[in-house]
Amino acid sequence: MKVSGFLRYMVVLMLALCVALVYGKTPMASAEVDMSKVDTSIQAIIGTWREGDALDARVLRVNPDYTYELVYRGGGTSCGTVRVIGEEHPDGTYSPWYSFDEVDGKNWAMFPKNDVDGTLQKDLWSGQDGALHFIRFDNYEYAGKTEGITPESYLGVWGCGRCTIVINKEDNKYTADISWANSAAEHRVWTYSCRYDKDSSILVCPGNGLCTDAIVYDNGKETDVNVYDDGSCELVLRDGVLKWYDNKDKAGQDMEFLK
């Protein structure tokens, strides 16, 4: 018995719908996307995350070196790497995604990259189905009034004694350069790539902070010595006073900076 044209059409249509349902939930990277136009930084998600809406909630740690660790409540850990891919749309635009890949290269999960305008991400929802949900576990709560504080409030030059903080915004990130003069011939410099936490109205560098000692010799030559590259900090503006909370060696403790 021959299958009618209409029945054949319905079979093909059902197969197409099944394929769309299966593959439509996972964004696919396009080889045609110009990755030079994609912000591949993971700075906005570095830190510790806890799985939401789960009885045996897992803990996800995203590290500054583009690796991750997934810790299970009952014991055991899995790990892998994090990268940013671009999903191209028919109109030529694209959406950036965080791709979490296991050690063997198999993809574990993908989360939309939502750090528009230099903001710190607070939630990770997987794919287009939201089957996985992780909530940022880091606590960035600081006392004081936040009314009227915007990201632009932080921009500019701040000073406290021999220490100066210069905060600028470039593309999708905020950069804080802190210089502390120990003497005329030696000063220490911290460079932080920051994101803005809208909930707490603060700037956060969750990792990758650089610390360098700059030494000027009698002949005028300067040598830069790397101290560390895994620093982190919070910059908190309250009532016109900027405070620097250095998490590495507490360098900015009890200091108050003014414009």
Q: Give me 199's structure tokens.
A: 């909930």
Determine what percent of the chain is predicted with pLDDT higher than 70. 86
**pLDDT, tens digit, 9 for 90 and up, residues 167-206:** 999 888 899 999 998 887 789 999 999 999 999 999 999 9
Q: What is the mean pLDDT of the chain?
A: 85
Query: Coil, strand, or helix at residue 110?
Result: strand
| CA–CA gap between residue 226 and residue 246 (Å, rounded) | 17
**What is the pLDDT, as a whole number, of residue 45?**
96
More confident residue, 161 or 219: 161
Determine what percent of the chain is predicted with pLDDT higher than 90. 60
Contact 72, 60 (CB under 8 A): no
At the second CATH level, the architecture of 37-136 is Beta Barrel (2.40)
C-alpha 13 chain-centroid distance: 42
Q: Write down how long the chain is.
A: 259
- pTM for the model stands at 0.78
Is pLDDT of 4 > 70? Answer: no
Ordered by start, the domain boundaries in the chain are 37-136, 151-246
**pLDDT, tens digit, 9 for 90 and up, residues 90-99:** 887 888 999 9
Q: Kindly state the DSSP code that residue 88 receives in the 8-state scheme.
A: E
The mean pLDDT of 62-85, rounded to a whole number, is 95
Contact 69, 76 (CB under 8 A): no
232's enclosing H/E stretch is strand 222-238
Is pLDDT of 10 > 70? Answer: no
**What is the pLDDT, as a whole number, of residue 33?**
63
Q: In what order do the strands lie in the sheet with 222-238?
A: 156-160, 163-170, 173-181, 186-197, 202-216, 222-238, 241-246
- 5-14, 65-74, 153-162: which has the minimum mean pLDDT? 5-14
**pLDDT, tens digit, 9 for 90 and up, residues 105-135:** 999 999 999 988 889 999 999 976 778 999 9
**What is the pLDDT, as a whole number, of residue 39?**
84
221 pLDDT band, cuts 50/70/90, is: confident
Long-range contacts of 95-103 (CB under 8 A, 24+ apart): 95/27, 96/38, 96/39, 97/27, 97/29, 98/42, 98/45, 98/124, 99/29, 100/68, 102/78, 103/79
Rg (CA), the chain: 24
Phi first, then psi: give them for residue 57, nearest 5 degrees: -60, 130
